[in-house]
Amino acid sequence: MPVEHRDDQFENRLGAALRNAGDAFDADRAALVAGGENRGRRLRMRRRTAIVSGAAAIALVGVGGALVAPWGGDGTGQRAVGAGGTTVGPGDAGSAPTPTATGAPSPVTGAQLLSKLKELLPQGELRDERARGTDAKLGPHAYGVFDDGKGDAALSISLGRVEPGGQQAREIAECPDQAFVPYDDCVATALPGGALLRIVKGYEYPDRRVDTKLWTADLVTAEGEHVAVMEWNAAAEKGAPISRPEPPLDSAQLKALVTDPAWLGAVRVIPEATEVETPPTSSAPAEVESDAIVTTLTGLLPKGLGVVGQSGPGTEYGYVVVDDGEGKSFVQINVQPNMQDVEDELFGPGSGAVTMPDGVKVVVRQGPGDDKGRGLVMRTADAIWPDGLRVVVSAFNSADQITGPTRENPALTLDQLRTIATDSKWQGLQPVPN
């Protein structure tokens, strides 16, 4: 849905994810962010962007991994399964880094990261290598094309930090919502020591226009150390033909690689200034819980629509998948308090907005549901109350945001969407302070 709201925390988290993810990030990688990719993660909208008639702007959040113990595989202080015998950079993974003459820890070079990556990989050849060390502005990262005799496969590892227990850490540890991110398997595991590990077997392109597979493993420790591994079944993440049925490392091998304690030793010498997630401030706007939004939306649906799917926890945003016997239809909604600052922009002259007797302004639109020419239809009702509460509800002629049409038109008419968006029940939802 092309509704957005200002979220400085999201800006910071996305920036961190892009820095962690490596050299070749583009729009699709930002949508999946394994250092953040995914989880959709749930939709988060930027505040000041108006609804754009004719296209659905979708931001996906979060494909992540599972958490592991700070010392690796089993939380006992032993090295992870499959780990080699050396440590990246100065000192052992569990010890303090060796200080330089200035007192700062010695950086780990890109060459050292590549050497450790080669040591931990199964038998084969790593070529087309490139890497950055822990003192690089974009963060430490190693990449190469791995050939084990069964076909070339691009493979990368990125290191960084997230706020311990913060939003980004939680998103990385959750399996993404399949309404936005397709995958064949996802396992998220809490490991001894407070670490989380997530392994996702998904695809490079959310809409599956090319069946390039992308498998990811993410490790986040209780201290906020983050290790992300990505592998493909092609020699490049985009633009290269599929060279093997699946990426080279299976789940056990991904776990052994991502949980090797040497990576945590490297994370610990990343300069502190690269930590970018800022805790929410007391001035952040309150938000409405997604559970309450979905419950209210479900109660306002017209008779004859059965709910066959819905979104999980979150704030401000929710969705349901409905079916009236003629095919599934995706219905999404945003409920945003204190949106007076966009009222003139979205509901002013030329917007087509109508002011109702109770002062609520509402505008309805219908247009293409995406910009890929797949025949998706989106109907939207956008309403704002005199106190600044904004409710935007959209219906699609598809079952999700990544596949093609499942029916000719959305299951709800514009009049039905208008009725939902302007219902007084939205005024009864209580925002939760950030």
pLDDT digits (tens, 9 = 90+) for 324-364: 999 999 999 999 998 999 899 999 999 999 999 999 999 99
Residue 370 lies in a domain: yes
Where is the domain boundary, 274, 306, 329? 274
pLDDT for residue 280: 42
pLDDT per residue over 314-334, tens digit each?
A: 788 999 999 999 999 999 999
Q: For tokens 């963060």, what's the residue? A: 139
8 A C-beta contact, residue 213 and residue 204: yes
Give the containing element (helix H, strand E) for 366.
Answer: strand 361-368
Please identify which residue in the block is written with the tokens 């809409």: 207
Asked, for residue 387, whether it belongs to a domain, the answer is yes
Instruction: Note the pLDDT tens digit of each residue in 289-303.
Output: 889 999 999 999 999
360 and 423 together in one domain: yes
Q: How many CA atoms lie less than 13 Å away from 140 in the CB half-sphere?
A: 34
The predicted structure's pLDDT at residue 433: 60
Average pLDDT, the chain: 76
Counted residue by residue, the chain has a size of 434
Residue 263 pLDDT greater than 90, yes or no: yes
280 inside domain: no
For 74-82, the CB contacts below 8 A with 24+ separation are 74/191, 74/192, 75/191, 75/192, 75/193, 75/195, 76/192, 79/260, 79/261, 80/255, 80/256, 80/259, 80/260, 80/261, 81/252, 81/255, 81/256, 82/120, 82/252, 82/253, 82/256, 82/257, 82/260
For residue 264, is it within any domain? yes
Verify that 198 and 72 share a domain, yes or no: yes
Average pLDDT over residues 48-52: 27
Report the pLDDT value the prediction gives residue 106, as an integer from 0 to 100.
86
- Residues 219, 294: one domain? no
Cα 35 to Cα 131, 226, 228, 372: the distances in Å are 17, 8, 6, 26
**Structural domain for 263, as ranges:** 8-274
Which 8-state DSSP code applies to residue 270? S
Of the candidates 166, 225, 174, the residue with the CA atom closest to the CA atom of residue 434: 166
What is the CATH number for 329?
A: 2.60.120
Confidence of residue 103 (pLDDT cuts 50, 70, 90): low
Cβ atoms of 56 and 401 within 8 Å: the answer is yes
* 342 in the same domain as 234: no
pLDDT in tens, 133-189: 999 988 999 999 999 999 999 999 999 999 998 888 888 888 988 888 889 999 999
- In terms of Cβ atoms closer than 10 Å to its own Cβ (0-12, 13-18, 19+), residue 6 is middle
Question: What's the total number of domains in the chain?
Answer: 2
2 located within any domain: no
User: Which residue among 274, 300, 329 closes a domain?
Assistant: 274
Claim to verify: residue 243 and residue 306 sit in the same structural domain: no
- Domain identity same for 100 and 227: yes
**Contact criterion met (CB below 8 Å) for 395 and 305:** no
Does residue 262 have a pLDDT over 60? yes
Answer whether residue 1 is part of any domain: no
Same structural domain, 214 and 310:
no
Average pLDDT over residues 260-272: 93
Report pLDDT digits (tens) over 214-238. Answer: 999 999 999 999 999 999 999 998 8
Q: Is there a single domain that holds both residue 143 and residue 199?
A: yes
Q: Say if residue 164 is in the same domain as residue 252.
A: yes
The answer to whether position 223 is within a domain reads yes
39 three-class SS: strand
Rounded CA-CA distance 32/64 in Å is: 9
pTM: 0.59
DSSP string, 53-108: TT-----------EE-BTTBTTSSSSPPTT--S--SSSS-TTSPPPB-TTSSBPPP
Once rounded to an integer, what is the mean pLDDT over residues 255-280? 78
Pick the last residue of a domain from 274, 301, 326: 274
pLDDT above 70 (res 50): no
Q: Looking at the structure, do residues 184 and 58 belong to the same domain, yes or no?
A: yes
Q: Check whether residue 39 and residue 121 sit in a common domain.
A: yes
Same domain, 107 and 212: yes
Give, in degrees to the nearest 5, the angle at Cα 421 between 418 and 425.
130
Answer whether residue 281 shows pLDDT above 90.
no
| Sign of the torsion formed by the C-alpha atoms of 105, 66, 211 and 376 | negative
Residue 27 lies in a domain: yes
